[in-house]
Amino acid sequence: MKKITPFLWFNNDLQEAIEFYKSVFKNITVTQTNTYPEGGPEPAGKLMTASFVIEGQEFVALNCTSEFRFNESISFVINCDTQEEIDHYWEELSKGGQTSYCGWLKDRFGLSWQIVPSIMGKLYSDPDKQKTVRVMQAMMQMSKFDIPILMAAYNGH
């Protein structure tokens, strides 16, 4: 286990979330599950926690009734090398959720994701500030990122 691991609290839908993420990501492994014991806050035998790895990132999750909800103050960035990757993650993760601007979306469990082109760092760090301004203006018009449009803005087209 890494020194720091995101811990997610699901509202009685952890098993459903795991199955959903298995349908979205190619590389996901559930490494451990635990169920509630007799006398716990939830029925004995119900899934309590799960540890899983998605694309190399470890997560631990709790499955419990809660008034706590995910919000945008925490999100996970998916760096995508191609438009096809962006399209895949955008379409799959937003099913039953909601989309926002600049590559942000919430999945149906309320977890926030940013679907971002890997090239974004290069586009923002160019010493030609006119290029970065054009990219920012193009980006601010987008919900889902469109690499060809960002590259056209970068190149002044």
CATH for 70-157?
Answer: 3.10.180.10
- Ranges for all domains in the chain classified under CATH 3.10.180.10: 70-157
Query: Confidence class of residue 124 from pLDDT cuts 50, 70 and 90?
Result: confident
What pLDDT does 151 receive? 96
Residue 55 has what DSSP assignment? T
Report d(CA 27, CA 25) in Å as an integer.
6
CA-closest candidate to residue 138, choices 128, 151, 121: 151
* Gap between the Cα atoms of 97 and 4, Å rounded: 27
Band the pLDDT of 66: cuts 50, 70, 90. confident
pLDDT at 110 over 90: yes
From CA 138, how far away is CA 30, in angstroms rounded? Answer: 39
How far, in Å, CA of 93 to CA of 99, rounded?
9
Which pLDDT belongs to residue 1?
64
Of 63-72, 74-83, 85-94, the poorest mean pLDDT is in 63-72
Name the one residue in this structure whose structure tokens are 């990501």.
Answer: 25
* Cα dihedral 3, 52, 38, 45 in deg (nearest 10): 180
> pTM of this prediction?
0.91
Report, as an integer, the average pLDDT of 147-155: 96
Q: For position 155, what pLDDT does the model report?
A: 95
144 SS3 class: coil
Of 65 and 149, the one with more pLDDT: 149
Domain with CATH 3.30.720.100 in the chain: 1-68
First to last CA, the chain: 47
Confidence at residue 154, expressed as pLDDT on a 0 to 100 scale? 95
* Residue showing tokens 């490494």: 31
Residue 142 has pLDDT above 90, yes or no: yes
Burial of 106 (0-12, 13-18, 19+ CB in 10 A): buried
For domain 1-68, give the CATH number: 3.30.720.100
Sequence-ordered list of residues with C-beta below 8 angstroms from that of 18, at least 6 positions apart, any chain: 30, 50, 52, 61
More confident residue, 97 or 66: 97
pLDDT value at position 67? 82
Mean pLDDT across the chain, nearest whole number? 95
